Structure 1
Amino acid sequence: MIQKFFSYIIPIKIFKKKSARSKIIEVTWANGELVLDSENTNYSYGSLQRILRYGLRNIGYEKILKMNHILLLGVAGGSVVKTLVDEIEYKEKITGVEIDPDMIQVANQYFNLNQIEQLELVIDDAFEFVLKTKEQYNLIIIDVFEDTNMPNFLFEKFFLNRVCALLKDDGFILFNTMILDEAHNVRNRKYISEVNPKTFTAKMLPRIETHNELIIINKVA
């Protein structure tokens, strides 16, 4: 494909759509791969896929292969789903929660997300879903953004306690955060300090991208 070839030289935008939730959704050929972006940041594939792959590798692919249910809060184009299914060869159930139906439409059209049989997609607000779900999960991946903004509820102690309560023994939370200023650094350190040390361990991973910091929480069995 000629667009893919030329994308090694310059990014080639092939799709752009306005969305009520995400404002702008763009699909671009970049360095030989399709990526999904909002107006100001990468939403799926590209740098985001590298970041979340790094977090999954830190948890351990062998551990992930033994899990039976993974929850993804914030699906976008589904790059982390592709990492789980294609690279790690995870075979069990994945539930993906995405608030923006336009995003899912684009993910299905350009990234074939609807062809992944073990993936159940739910159009819902992450906060509302976490309150309602009766399931427990081995891994909860939190990747919720509105362009470069992260909703405040993600960092509230109530939400932290709720997602921690949804973990099975020896389960993990992988939380992708964006750091744009010192206030965000303070916010992340406060978040870590509020994790219950009797039941959970929490750590920040060294950054591999300038503005993204991963937090991993593990429920001690």
Structure 2
Amino acid sequence: MVRRLLSYIIPVNVASRKSEWSKNLEITWNNGELVMDSKNTNYSYGSLQRILRKGLQAIGYKSILDMQHILVLGVAGGSVIKTITDEIRFSGKITGVDIDAQVIAMANEFFGLDAIPNLEIVIDDAFEFVLKTKDRYDLIIVDIFQDTAMPNFLFESFFSKRIHFLLRPNGILLFNTMLLDSKDNLRNEEYVSDLDLLGFRTQIIPRVEEHNELIIARKSDA
């Protein structure tokens, strides 16, 4: 493919769409890889897939294979789901939640997300979903951004407590955050302190792809 080869020299745009939640979304060939980007950041595949892959590797692929149900809050193009299904070969149930119907439509069109048989996609606000769901999960992945911004509710105690409740014993939270200034650093420090108070055992993977910090929190078996 000519566009793919050319992308090793310069990014090649494939499609651009408007979105109510993410504003401008673009599908681009970049360094031989098809990626989804917002105006200012990578949304799926590319660096984001590498970031979350590091978190999954830290959890352990073998441990993930033994899980029954994974919840992904913030699907975008579905790169973390592709890692789970294509690389780890996870065959249990995956529920993906995203507020943006347009981004899911693009994920289906360009990345074949709707061809994954063990995936259920729910178009909903993540906060509303975690309040309503009756299921329990072995792994909850939180990867929610609006361009480079992260919604405040993600760091509030109520949301953390709800995540703790939804995890099965020994369940794991994998939370992708972005650190752009000292306020973000303080926000993450306070968040991790809250997780410790809830009884999580936390692990930090700092400065992944420069601006991202992964938080892995393991629930006790009690």
Whole-Å separation in 2 of the counterparts to 1:212 and 1:165: 26
Q: Which amino acid aligns with 2:44?
A: S
Whole-Å separation in 2 of the counterparts to 1:184 and 1:177: 9
Distance 1:2 1:198, change over 3 A: closer
Residue of structure 2 equivalent to 1:26: 26
Distance 1:26 1:196, change over 3 A: same
Q: Offset at 1:197?
A: 4.6
**Secondary structure of 2:206's match?**
coil
Distance 1:153 1:197, change over 3 A: closer
1:156-171 map, 5 Å: 156-171=156-171
Contact 1:192 1:203 in 2 (8 A): no
What stretches of structure 1 of length at least 5 have no aligned partner? none
**Secondary structure of 2:159's match?**
helix
1:167-186 map, 5 Å: 167-186=167-186
Q: Which amino acid aligns with 2:58?
A: N
Whole-Å separation in 1 of the counterparts to 2:198 and 2:114: 40
How many residues were matched structurally? 221
Contact 1:24 1:38 in 2 (8 A): yes
- CA offsets 1:108-166 (integer angstroms, 9 cap, x no match): 00000000010000000000000000110000000000000000000000001101110
Whole-Å separation in 1 of the counterparts to 2:7 and 2:161: 44
TM-score by length of 1: 0.98
Residue of structure 2 equivalent to 1:78: 78
**Secondary structure of 2:150's match?**
coil
Q: Offset at 1:183?
A: 0.2
**Secondary structure of 1:207's match?**
strand
Distance 1:108 1:185, change over 3 A: same
> Which stretches of structure 1, 4 residues or more, deviate above 6 A after TM superposition?
none
Whole-Å separation in 1 of the counterparts to 2:64 and 2:96: 16
1:1-221 map, 5 Å: 1-197=1-197, 199-221=199-221
Contact 2:40 2:148 in 1 (8 A): yes
Q: Which amino acid aligns with 1:185?
A: N
